[in-house]
Amino acid sequence: MKNVIGRNIPEYINGIGKVEPFLGAWEKLKKGWMDEITVPPPNKAKLPHQCKSCMDLRMAIEKTNPHDGMTVSFHHHLRSGDNILVMTIDILAQMGIKNITLASSSLNNSHDSILKYLKDGTITKIWTSGLRGELGKAVSEGVLDVPVTIHSHGGRVRAIHTGKIQIDLAVIAASAADEEGNATGAHGKSAFGSMGYARIDSRYAKQVIIVTDNMVEYPCTPTSIQQHYVDYVVKVDSIGDASKIASGTTRITKSPMDLRIAKLAADVIENSGMFTEGFSFQVGAGGASLAVAKFIREKMKKNGVKGSFLLGGVTSYGVDMLNEGLFRAIFDVQSFDAAVSSSILKNRNNIEISSGYYANPYNCGCMTNKLDIVVLGALEIDIDFNVNVITGADGIIRGASGGHSDTASGANLTVVVCPSFRGRIPIIKKRVHTIVTPGETVDVLVTERGICVNPKKPELEESLIKAGLKIKKIEDLQKEVEGITGVEKPIEFTDKIVGIVEYRDGTIIDVIKQVKNAN
């Protein structure tokens, strides 16, 4: 069957079950509640002064009743410096556990070495926001029988509430913890800042293990993870590679192309009618999208405009803007550099938030719903403004859904910034390979070769034209780019589904097929 944006979605998928097709970005939310029943979190008990400390991770895992078919969860705040996921899966594999469902909030290059467990049946199902490197390639080539489910950060919370993800064991890395399991990422040699994605795991997992390389005297504050949800605490030598977790401060790109795109995007924002006193703002952490913050910062100072709050993945650049008084608060679900970790610790207006508070569509108002302006990147975008942030030009999974669709659906003004082509491959296409964020939630595309406004926002287009910005029709820009690069040969896929892309409300927006002739 075709979903509302024309993607073919099967009604039933082996290993996944019945599939509900995407209905539109806000269709299901209009009702005001979620039809699925929320599963209750586990209720556990400990005796007074019972000891939670374990000698090592293996001992802790043994106590949690590991079994075939279990679901194990992790958070990805350590980014590509994470040691704990691989360490845990190694132990489970040594114990001979099979058919594991891996439910990490995201996966990246530091997890490549678990590929062998996908091949030998140790891991048979995956839930994640992102997939890259060897894992992304192997999944795209069909290493698993059951398709991987790609969720958004907000959607993951919903999936845990509804019991689609039922976590048997959550192994939560922390850069500081005490013997009862109060834990944080805000300080310690492996500090990584916010623990936003891990909170839901601590609440809902049947068993929770805190792993830290920095046991501190009781009590450990701030209590990002709270002791009353924690079963065991383990001290290890290192939770990860500090240089890859979060180092120093984030620098703005020097690429002239990215800066040019960012400057145009900042001009768009300034003239959108949304750049007013008290606006809220989020930018991605990479390339052109972070550079937009540089230009917005200059414009705020020049025009004397002050904002309300910054949201999201936070960089030192956001912290600087907070400290300059340009914004009143930062809501921080994930921190990208060391300067942010210390800001969380010291500045009470740099507030650590959970992923549910950040982006879960099924509550009384997540932060993304309060966003005025968000600037996002794209691997591909099509003439219907649909955005792909998960599969690369060769059809292989090499990205992450993250908060892309969450923030796009929430913000009043969603700006997508990307080059129109990269190394001869058009980024603007007639049709993206995989839809993660539906075009109805995207308002403006800014590329180095032109600005395109979604036709459903004619008043926005009008005010941008009035401000002297040159607007192109997205179809024209797509043709122009094709004229420069030539028409690319389409990627060939088999009929096998290797991944499903879940929209934040739990419906399926697209599926990812196995690549043919993978090399």
Partner 1 sequence: MQIVKKAQAGSFESSDIMVLVEPSEKSGRYIEINSSVDIQFGEQIKHAINRKLDELQVVDIHLIAKDKGALNLTICARVETAVKRAAGVQKGFIS
Partner 2 sequence: MLYIPGNNPAMLQHGGIYGADSLLLDLEDAVALNQKDAARILVRNMLQTIDFYNSEVCVRINHLDTPFGREDLEEIVPLQPDAIRYPKTESVEDLKKLLAIIEDIENKHNLPHDKMTIHAMIETAMGVQNVFDIASFSNRVDALTIGGQDLMADMNIKNTKEGTGIDLARKMIVMAAKANGIDAIDTVFVDVNDEEGLKKETEYAKNIGFSGKAVINPRQIDIIHEVFTPTNEEVRKAYRIVKEFKRNKEAGIGVFAIEGKMIDAPVVARAEYVLELAGIDYKNI
Residues 469-498 that bind partner 2 (CB under 8 A): 480, 484
Q: Does residue 285 contact residue 246 with C-beta atoms inside 8 Å? A: no
| 78 within 8 A of 239, measured Cβ to Cβ | yes
Give the C-alpha separation, 191 to 201, whole Å.
20
Q: How does strand 399-400 pair with strand 130-131?
A: antiparallel
Give the span between the Cα atoms of 432 and 378, in whole angstroms.
11
The interface partner of residue 260, options being partner 2, partner 1, none and the CB cut-off 5 to 8 Å by kind, is: partner 2
Instruction: Indicate the SS3 state at residue 334.
Output: strand
Range 394-453, binding partner 2 (CB under 8 A): 448-449
Range in contact with partner 2 (rule: CB under 8 A) among 244-252, 257-265, 320-328, 377-385: 257-265
Cβ atoms < 10 Å from Cβ of 37: 9
CA gyration radius, the chain? 22
Question: Closest separation between CB of residue 95 and partner 2, Å?
Answer: 52
Residue number with CB closer to partner 2 (294 or 404): 294
Q: How far is the CB of 491 from partner 1 (least distance, A)?
A: 7
Which among 122-130, 199-207, 249-257, 429-437 is the span making contact with partner 2, rule CB under 8 A?
A: 249-257
Residue 480: CB minimum distance to partner 1, A: 13
Q: Which does 486 bind (CB under 5 to 8 A by kind): partner 1, partner 2, none?
A: partner 1
Q: Which of 31, 254, 302, 346 binds partner 2 (CB under 8 A)?
A: 254
- Which residues of the chain form contacts with partner 1 (CB under 8 A)? 393-394, 422-425, 484-486, 488-489, 491
Q: Minimum distance between the CB of residue 98 and partner 1, rounded to whole angstroms?
A: 36
Helix axes 338-346, 316-323, angle to 10 degrees: 40
Question: Rule CB under 8 A: is residue 134 a binding residue for partner 2?
Answer: no
CB of 432 to partner 2, least distance (A): 23
Contact yes or no for 269/296 (Cβ under 8 A): yes
Stretch that binds partner 2, among 112-120, 161-169, 259-267, 327-335 (CB under 8 A): 259-267
Which residues fall within 8 angstroms of residue 438, CB to CB, at 6 or more apart?
Answer: 5, 22, 24, 25, 386, 405, 503, 509
Beta carbons within 8 Å of 261's beta carbon, 6+ residues apart: 288, 291, 417, 418, 419, 446, 447, 448
- From edge to edge, which strands make up the β-sheet containing 169-174? 53-54, 232-235, 207-212, 169-174, 71-74, 100-104, 123-128, 148-150, 493-502, 508-515
With contacts defined by CB under 8 A, name the span among 75-83, 108-116, 250-258, 332-340 that binds partner 2. 250-258
Establish if 260 lies at the interface with partner 2 (CB under 8 A). Answer: yes
- Select 394 or 448, whichever has its Cβ closest to partner 2: 448
The residue with tokens 């004397």 is 304
Report the residue number, 234 or 269, with the smaller CB distance to partner 2: 269
For residue 295, the minimal CB distance to partner 2 (Å) is 10
Tell me whether residue 149 or residue 514 sits nearer to partner 1 (CB atom): 514
518 binds partner 2 (CB under 8 A): no
Q: Which does 32 bind (CB under 5 to 8 A by kind): partner 2, partner 1, none?
A: none
H-helix or E-strand containing 303?
helix 287-303
# residues near partner 2 by CB under 8 A: 10
Which of 254, 252, 384, 398 lies closest to 320, judged by CA?
A: 252
In sign, the C-alpha dihedral spanning 202, 205, 207, 211 is: negative
Q: Indicate which of partner 2, partner 1, none lies near residue 40 (CB less than 5 to 8 Å, by partner kind).
A: none
For residue 496, the partner it binds in partner 1, partner 2, none, with Cβ less than 5 to 8 A by kind, is none
Please, which residue, 255 or 363, has the CB nearer to partner 1? Answer: 255
Q: How far apart are CA 108 and CA 174, in angstroms?
A: 18
Which of 32, 40, 48, 256 lies at the binding interface for partner 2 (CB under 8 A)? 256
Residue pair 428/481 in contact (Cβ under 8 Å)? The answer is: yes
Query: Where on the chain is the footprint of partner 2 (CB under 8 A)?
Result: 254, 256-257, 259-260, 263, 448-449, 480, 484
